[in-house]
């Protein structure tokens, strides 16, 4: 078998994609090839509009807390 990345002889196989890889392109910590390992930790491209934080509208009606009946008579 040969490494699918560089073409060197290989005996290792990626756990995720199953392709043969050489020792230079194999990550021994998780058993994946460097391509699959990089995909795992790659940051997704975020759209600024999708990442925007929703806020309250400016024209919200303010409500007062309810008073018990015993205190309503005194106010």
| Average pLDDT along the chain | 80
pLDDT at 57: 65
Q: Tokens at residue 23, please?
A: 């020792």
In angstroms, rounded to a whole number, what is the distance separating the alpha carbons of residues 49 and 32? 34
Q: Would the CA dihedral through 12, 37, 3, 23 be positive or negative? A: negative
Give 18-54 pLDDT, tens digit per residue.
999 999 999 998 899 999 998 887 766 555 555 566 6
Angle formed at CA 21 by CA 17 and CA 11, multiple of 5 degrees: 115
Under a CB-based contact definition with an 8 Å cutoff, are residues 9 and 1 in contact?
yes
| Per-residue pLDDT band at 2 (split at 50, 70, 90) | very high
Q: What is the pLDDT of residue 73?
A: 64
């Amino acid at each position: 078998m040969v490494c699918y990345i560089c073409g060197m002889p290989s005996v290792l196989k990626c756990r995720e994609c199953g392709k043969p890889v050489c020792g230079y392109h194999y990550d021994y910590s998780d058993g994946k090839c460097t391509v699959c390992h990089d995909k795992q930790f790659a940051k997704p491209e975020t759209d600024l509009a999708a990442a925007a934080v929703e806020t309250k509208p400016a024209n919200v009606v303010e409500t007062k807390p309810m008073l018990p009946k015993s205190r309503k008579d005194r106010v």
